[in-house]
Amino acid sequence: MAMNELRLISFWKMSGSGNDFIIIDNRDLSLDVGDLPAFARRICARKISVGADGLFLIEPSASVDFKWQFFNSDGSRGEMCGNGARCVARWAFFNGVTGAKLSFETLAGIIDAEVFADTVKVRLTDPSLLQQNVSLVLDGGKCGLDHIDTGVPHAVCFVESVEAFDVVVTGRQIRQHDYFQPKGTNANFAKVSDLHKMTVRTYERGVEDETLACGTGVVASVLAAAGRNLVDSPVNVTVQSGEILRVYFSRRGNRFEEIYLEGKVKIVYQGMLFEEAYK
C-alpha cells in the first residue's frame, strides 16, 4: 500500500517534568478511530505503541482558545492534569494555535496559561477545602493523610524518607481504599525540607503506577503542607524525574486560591501514527 493511501494520524509527544503525553490536533473534529478510550489505551501502551501517561485531543471551544478531551493511559477520562496543561499550552503556542497567553476548557474548568520559551505557568482552578488528618487502615496498619481536590482528588502523606518509601504498594492501597470510592484518589508522599522546598512522589490514578511527576499532586502536596504551616509561597518541589516544579498560592481563611504551577516542558517529537499502532 502506498504511503498516500495509508490512514495516518499526526501527533506530538511532549514531556512535562517527566509526565509524558500524546497530543492530537482534532480542532476540525476529523479524528475517526472508533472507541476513544480503547484508542487511548492502545497508543499509550509502552513498548508496543507510542507510550505515554495520557492522551489529549485538542478540539474547538465556543468561549476560549480550545478545549481538550483527556484520557489517562488506562482509557479513563481525566478531569484535569497539571503537567498535561503545561504541555498542551506549549504545544498550542509552538504551533501558532494561540499566543503566549491562552485559556482552554477542561472538565475541571477553564485553565489559563502563559508560555515563556520552554517554561509554562498555568493557573489551576480553585481547590476544594483541605481535609486534614484522615485516618485509614491499610495492610501495614493505620495511615494518616490529608485530602484535597486540585482538579482531581489527591491524598497526601508526609513521610520521613520519600526516597525509601514504597510508593507503589502503599499508593495502590490508598488509591483503591473504600474511603475514596467510587472515584478513587491519587496518592502523594511528601517531605518538607524548608519553607520553600519539598520533595514529592506520586501514585497516579488512571496510570495505576508511580509516575515521574504529577502537577496536580505537587500542588495538592504543597497545599497540604501549607495547611500545616510548613511552607509558604512559592514552593519548589523536586519530583521523581529530578526536575523542579514551582507552586504559587495565596490563602484566605481556610481556603486556598490563585494557584499557579510552573515548570519546564519538552517537545520530544512529532510523528505519524499508523493504524497498526492502535488497531
Pairing of strands 244-252, 54-59: unpaired
- How many contiguous H segments (helices) and E segments (strands) does the chain have? 4, 17
Least Cα distance to 67 among 94, 107, 95 occurs for: 107
CB neighbour list of residue 61: distance below 8 Å, 6 or more residues apart: 67, 104, 105
Q: Which residues are catalytic?
A: 81, 214
Least Cα distance to 9 among 275, 276, 279 occurs for: 275
Q: What's at 270, amino acid-wise?
A: Q
Write the secondary structure of 204-218 as one string of H (helix), E (strand) and C (coil).
ECCCCEEECCCHHHH
DSSP run (H or E) holding 173: helix 167-176
| DSSP designation for 77 | B
